[in-house]
């Protein structure tokens, strides 16, 4: 009864929160260093895919294909704007909640499943990043589902579950390559099932094959050269960059773990409870998942704050499993498992005021009036069929205008890695006869040759709030 009630309460709270914050674009960086730049870039790229432009060969994509394919589907169904893209992200948020509940229930019982659902649903960064148009949300949902299927195989012996788990992990990788880190916990739990050595080997190979073969085939068959260049080589170059004003990996992880400090402590104490009663198999699985993901993020470069969102379901499962384990250990007097979780639970309750405050204020009911004004200007001075070259993609989305396909991701990383050159900017702006050039975010003005070309071929106009725009002569 508790499991059903807690899971239902978690789902209802999540749905109400998302409904109440629909249409809000501003983030409160005093809670966490959130940045909305990727949202608008990914929305612009997905809209192009929805309009029939091809990934990698036309539409630039630094992510594997499932992100833009899923977002574009949502935009066809739920609206040709960021609202349609967010509908897809929120749907994956529900999937993450369900997979987290199922996984914790298998590891720690009904109390664990219900506790994990509630812990995740009220976590401020889950609420935000399960609506943000980023790859981390869908990736984490599919990753958690894949691991849950692998644990279900461990408990039941049904081989199909292990294969389905591998396929779910493949889908997670095709959203974002970070998901590769989940192969270790998946193999650990699959190989831990009792059986002959040959049987365990077969199942390990089956899971690896299901997880990796679709990824290899996709990268070999879908624009392999362009995809490798944009998804792999770009990130290799970005890894050597020194970005201005970038936070260190340690600072990002510190801030992430401190936003919902009670959940962090509860997750650690949950692992301690498993160790206290010597449940090494489940402990190893969770340490490889949560610890392996944390280590990967600590070493990855360049790390951005939204990357840490992939840890949220792992923390909720660890915390929920700890609560369930302590609950079951209580009648047996296994105080070594009960005490750390009880202390962590008390701390969580004491910190709940912080969680409530963050849930209420992590999004600001305010949108940049300058962006709205520039978007309205662009919409009124261009036809719906005309392209707009904008380095602030919020302007293009709010104006309901397409951007030249190769310019849907004008990011600092892409610029400094040499993937956004004057030749690319000039060629795309010219090829698609962009009606307006809108350099309001400052990316374009860093490419002097491009702005010189714009000055020769476009007429400068003064837009709202002192903005400078360019209209094709």
Q: Which pair of structure tokens corresponds to residue 174?
A: 């095709």
Share of the chain above pLDDT 70, in %: 100
Confirm if 303 and 374 have CB atoms less than 8 A apart: no
Beta bridge partners of 468: 462
Mean pLDDT of 301-319: 96
Mean pLDDT of 362-378: 90
pLDDT of residue 264: 97
**pLDDT over 80 at 223, yes or no:** yes
Q: What is the pLDDT of residues 412-455, one digit of tens each?
A: 899 999 999 999 999 999 999 999 999 988 899 999 999 999 99
Q: What is the pLDDT of residues 62-84, one digit of tens each?
A: 999 999 999 999 999 988 889 99
pLDDT band at 466 (very low <50, low <70, confident <90, very high): confident
**Closest to 392 measured CA to CA, from 14, 22, 63, 38:** 38
Q: Which pair of structure tokens corresponds to residue 48?
A: 């192009």
Mean pLDDT of 160-178: 98
CA angle, corner 135, sides to 151 and 295, nearest 5?
Answer: 60
**Mapping DSSP to helix (H, G, I), strand (E, B) and coil, where does residue 470 land?**
strand
Q: Which pair of structure tokens corresponds to residue 384?
A: 């719906």
Q: What is the pLDDT of residues 328-357, one digit of tens each?
A: 888 887 888 899 999 999 999 999 999 999
**Is the peptide bond between 302 and the residue preceding it cis, with omega within 30 degrees of 0?**
yes
Q: Which pair of structure tokens corresponds to residue 307?
A: 């990357």
Confirm if 308 and 372 have CB atoms less than 8 A apart: no
pLDDT of residue 365: 84
């Amino acid at each position: 009864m508790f499991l059903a009630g807690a899971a239902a309460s978690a789902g209802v709270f999540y749905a109400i929160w998302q409904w109440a914050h629909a249409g809000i674009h501003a983030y409160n960086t005093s809670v966490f260093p959130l940045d909305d730049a990727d949202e608008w870039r990914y929305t612009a790229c997905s809209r192009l895919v929805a309009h029939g432009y091809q990934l990698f060969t036309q539409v630039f994509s630094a992510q594997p294909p499932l992100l833009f394919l899923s977002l574009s589907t949502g935009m066809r169904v739920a609206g040709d704007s960021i609202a349609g893209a967010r509908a897809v992200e929120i749907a994956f948020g529900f999937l993450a909640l369900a997979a987290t509940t199922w996984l914790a229930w298998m590891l720690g019982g009904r109390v664990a499943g219900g506790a994990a659902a509630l812990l995740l649903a009220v976590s401020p960064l889950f609420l935000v990043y399960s609506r943000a148009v980023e790859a981390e949300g869908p990736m984490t949902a599919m990753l958690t589902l894949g691991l849950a299927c692998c644990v279900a195989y461990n408990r039941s012996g049904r081989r199909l579950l292990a294969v389905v788990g591998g396929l779910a992990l493949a889908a997670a990788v095709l959203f974002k390559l970070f998901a590769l880190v989940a192969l270790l916990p998946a193999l650990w739990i699959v190989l831990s099932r009792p059986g002959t050595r040959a049987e365990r080997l077969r199942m390990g190979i089956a899971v690896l094959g299901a997880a990796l073969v679709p990824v290899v085939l996709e990268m070999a068959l879908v624009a392999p050269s362009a995809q490798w260049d944009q998804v792999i080589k770009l990130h290799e170059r970005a890894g050597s960059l020194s970005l201005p004003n970038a936070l260190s990996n340690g600072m990002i992880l510190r801030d992430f773990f401190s936003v919902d400090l009670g959940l962090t402590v509860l997750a650690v104490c949950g692992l301690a409870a498993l160790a206290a009663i010597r449940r090494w198999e489940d402990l190893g699985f969770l340490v490889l998942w949560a610890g392996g993901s944390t280590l990967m993020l600590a070493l990855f470069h360049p790390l951005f704050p939204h990357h840490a969102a992939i840890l949220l379901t792992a923390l909720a499962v660890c915390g929920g499993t700890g609560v369930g384990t302590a609950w079951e250990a209580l009648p047996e007097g296994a105080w070594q498992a009960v005490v750390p979780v009880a202390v962590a639970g008390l701390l969580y309750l004491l910190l709940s005021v912080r969680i409530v405050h963050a849930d209420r204020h992590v999004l600001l009911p305010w949108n940049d009036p300058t962006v709205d004004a520039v978007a309205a200007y662009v919409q009124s001075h261009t036809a719906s069929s005309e392209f707009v070259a904008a380095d602030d993609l919020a302007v293009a989305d709010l104006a309901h205008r397409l951007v030249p396909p190769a310019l849907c991701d004008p990011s600092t990383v892409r610029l400094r890695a040499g993937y956004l050159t004057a030749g690319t900017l000039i060629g795309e702006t010219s090829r698609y006869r962009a009606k307006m050039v809108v350099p309001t975010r400052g990316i374009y003005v860093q490419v002097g040759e491009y702005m010189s070309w714009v000055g020769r071929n476009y007429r400068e106009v003064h837009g709202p709030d002192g903005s400078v725009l360019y209209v094709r002569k």
